[in-house]
Structure 1
């Protein structure tokens, strides 16, 4: 696909999204940042793709040079996902490659910021937490509600937030890649580029080794409670939520499988899938489905 009105529009969309990153809209815009880059790279030749980015880069420099760094940050994972689409890789491969590249960039930025620019992430998070919790520390609010928020509580919240940074980065990268795939795939299909889709939800299964990782996480949690350092605590606080997320995905897959097998109303598995994220114990269904051949047993009973 050569230069066209559609590709120019996507370049303009990319420009607007990048400009929104230094505004309050960045909270939402960041999750859609890779979409224009993926569409442009997957639908254009490398030379055309570069020429489409040149005017975007020139306009960004006029506003502020920092935008060029943002352009680079979000273009690299977009290229990775777009290349996966071009080479007919599976949707899961594209998602893992895109989220992995995004995560690697986050970690690199944290390293560069702390080493070169002396950016103290811990202090920044502590300041943000204090600013957020400040209404709770107001003496009048404490008198009305009969609840006293102490400085020690604020420090504890800040510490817990700092320890959860790796988990937040992983989940953010995965969500960005998933949203990008969900929106870019149908658009690229309309543009004539066939992009593979994710397997149906009823086929979602996590590796059975996740059970052993679960026991490992429990062991690390016990070690962290007996240790005075933050190293084991950080591992425990990030590993357990990631594993539980895997069990949630397994439970969602089981609900869709059960609905498909039993011919339930199509809306029911979506309600159950949403409930998994709000009702923690429902992930136990994912653990049972992973540990025992529930789906095979249901299929045999139907026969």
Structure 2
């Protein structure tokens, strides 16, 4: 049922696919390797019998996410930390996306041009002048330019969501899943600020339309560092709320604001830099 929802309702894939991953993780943690393979192969055969002509479509998603789920389950079984499990699983997904993209390119299929052509066909249904062709070209150029960051973000998001659901579901089924350290303890190295400033300056002097390696580096690393500094700022907010016993809903409201108001993002990045460079927490605790 989850497979069917994943294939025919792609807008809820961010929930259904991690649920599939959790099921695989549970089987891998619970069973030895031989029994796991037997159970998984049996499920594949059942889906082939049930799916018929769309069996390949139904199996493509679980097979794609299978390696990442196995890696995460293996690391849980070996009592590795949650961070290592998430990073390893996310990198596996990124590697698979890169291999898939290379395979498409080698076979003569360009997914970026396919998306652009479909979008241009949709535009023809709109009143003339609604969207300028130049704007479409610029959008898809930037989309292709930052595709490495997008793949990294997708891999990390699915790995984190899978871990969060595993922590929520599997302990109730008797399985021990490692816990992530509290976000309020997050402390990024000071070099993060240096890298951010350097990449920010680079992005100011590099033309994104040039197609150069420097442009690709700048426009892919900058959002990663921005997210890290935002997490550092949220870490400080969680720390302050915990220390002064404020309402626990405050940090979550801040997260919603960051997600939906881009202007707030600049403030959080600046606060994150201050938290890294200066002993703000020590001063706050001393004053209290």
Normalised TM-score (structure 2):
0.87
Residue aligning to 1:107: 98
SS in 1 for 2:179: coil
CA contact (8 A) 2:208 2:215 kept: no
CA contact (8 A) 1:251 1:276 kept: no
CA contact (8 A) 1:217 1:236 kept: yes
Structure 1 residue 134: deviation in Å? 4.8
Output one character per residue of 1:45-80: Cα deviation in whole Å (capped at 9) or x when no partner: 212211210121113334334555543321110011
1:208 to 178, 184, 190: 190
* 1-structure distance, mates of 2:111, 2:172: 43
* Equivalences, count: 278
Residue aligning to 1:138: 127
Matched, 1:286 2:268: no
Matched, 1:88 2:74: no
SS in 1 for 2:207: helix
1:295 to 270, 273, 281: 281
Output one character per residue of 1:100-151: Cα deviation in whole Å (capped at 9) or x when no partner: 1111111111112211x2221231231244245556x513xx5xxxxx5321
**Counterparts of residues 1-303 of structure 1 (less than 5 Å):** 16-25=1-10, 27-28=12-13, 29-62=16-49, 63=51, 64-65=55-56, 67-115=58-106, 117-131=107-121, 133-134=123-124, 137-139=126-128, 148-225=130-207, 228-277=210-259, 278=261, 279-283=264-268, 284-302=270-288
Which ranges in structure 2 are unaligned for 5 or more consecutive residues?
none
Output one character per residue of 1:260-297: Cα deviation in whole Å (capped at 9) or x when no partner: 11111111122123223332223211111112111122
Residue aligning to 1:13: none
Normalised TM-score (structure 1):
0.83
CA contact (8 A) 1:90 1:196 kept: yes
* 2-structure distance, mates of 1:197, 1:134: 50
* 1-structure distance, mates of 2:88, 2:179: 15
* 1-structure distance, mates of 2:220, 2:234: 22
CA contact (8 A) 2:148 2:220 kept: yes
**TM-align CA RMSD:** 2.2
